[in-house]
Amino acid sequence: MNDPLPNEIDEALWDEACRRAEAIRGFLMHRSGKVAVGDMTLLAAELEVSRATAFRLIKLFRNGGTVVSLVERKPGRPDGSRVLDEKREEIIRTTINRYYLNKNRPSISQLVRDVQTGCISVGLKPPHRRTIETLLEDIDLQKRAKRRGETEVVKRTTAVPGMLTASRPLQIVQVDHTKADIFVVDEETRLPIGRPWLTLAMDVCSRMVTGFYLTMEAPSRLSTSLCLLHSVFDKSSWLREREIIEPWPVAGLPETLHVDNGSDFRSRAFKRGCEDAGIAIDWRPPGEPRFGVQRDNQDETKRQSR
């Protein structure tokens, strides 16, 4: 059976897998080779599992090296999948936009009652409260707070301007899109086709470009992903294919990605992909291209916003 994508996994299972990955990374960082029984007992206690399960999780993590490899597998319908029909989902989204995302700030309980009333009125079975909450959580937290006039939440989720510095290579890598200052023309008619989009990854410490992707398509999750793949992998074969003799000595996973608030960087797939590889994300506010590191506790803010 294929593993689910990071953005398809239930929130609670993902959070637990992240906790396991952090504990195991710290455990393995100071140990190599065979692990002592006493040490394994301590790890098992921290993970709140049996010693045998702790051994199994370490093996899974060593083989996979990702958060996904530590997600608890359960029988039955895949975690994170939804079976909600389109009509009921449309009622939920319409009710959220029309009645919940406004400055009257009704409660979630009121939202649930409104959705249930809407479904019953057209002869549909009302969805469970948790289903409604899941769709609500898909909405960007800051967008939701702005629509509801929750100034404190907006403040907590807005990056604080400040100088961005790094003391070592790959500690922070910035990724952004820009239109190249060049026109591409048709090779036969010589008519202009348009300006290409350049997605660039740059190491903050060394100011070296770690990877890029050039395309005529508008910025998307695909262009971001291909840029990051180019950034992470060794460039030797890429340079040989293009008969480039100059070295490009950069490869490896960054510790943190510093990005703006574009939809591709705010997508669940991007967030989960970074979490899966152990990469932190810092978003910067609009209008501050060189400043701002967001350090707020999003989970705590989300709970308080309710």
Cβ neighbours of 105 (radius 10 Å): 13
**What is the 3 state secondary structure string of 124-179?**
CCCCCHHHHHHHHHCCCHHHHHHHCCCHHHHHHCCCEEEECCCCCCCCEEEEEEEE
Predicted local confidence at residue 1, as pLDDT: 47
* pLDDT score recorded for residue 12: 81
177-219 pLDDT per residue, tens: 999 989 999 888 889 899 999 999 999 999 999 999 999 998 8
Residue 287 burial (10 A CB sphere; 0-12, 13-18, 19+): exposed
Question: Are 227 and 213 a contacting pair, CB within 8 Å?
Answer: yes
Give the span between the Cα atoms of 248 and 282, in whole angstroms.
26
For residue 292, which of 250, 249, 261 has the smallest C-alpha distance?
Answer: 261
pTM check: above 0.75: no
Element of type H or E holding 181: none
Which of 138, 135, 158, 136 is CA-nearest to residue 146? Answer: 158
| Per-residue pLDDT in tens (0 to 9) along the chain, 306 residues | 456 667 777 788 888 888 888 888 888 877 766 767 777 888 888 888 888 888 888 888 888 778 888 887 665 555 445 567 888 888 998 998 888 888 887 888 898 899 999 999 989 888 888 888 888 888 888 888 888 888 887 777 665 555 678 889 999 999 999 999 899 998 888 898 999 999 999 999 999 999 999 999 988 889 999 999 999 999 999 999 999 999 999 999 999 999 988 888 888 888 888 888 889 998 876 655 445 443 444 444 444 455
- Per-residue pLDDT of 83-119, as tens digits, reads 678 888 889 989 988 888 888 878 888 988 999 999 9
CA distance 296 to 294: 6
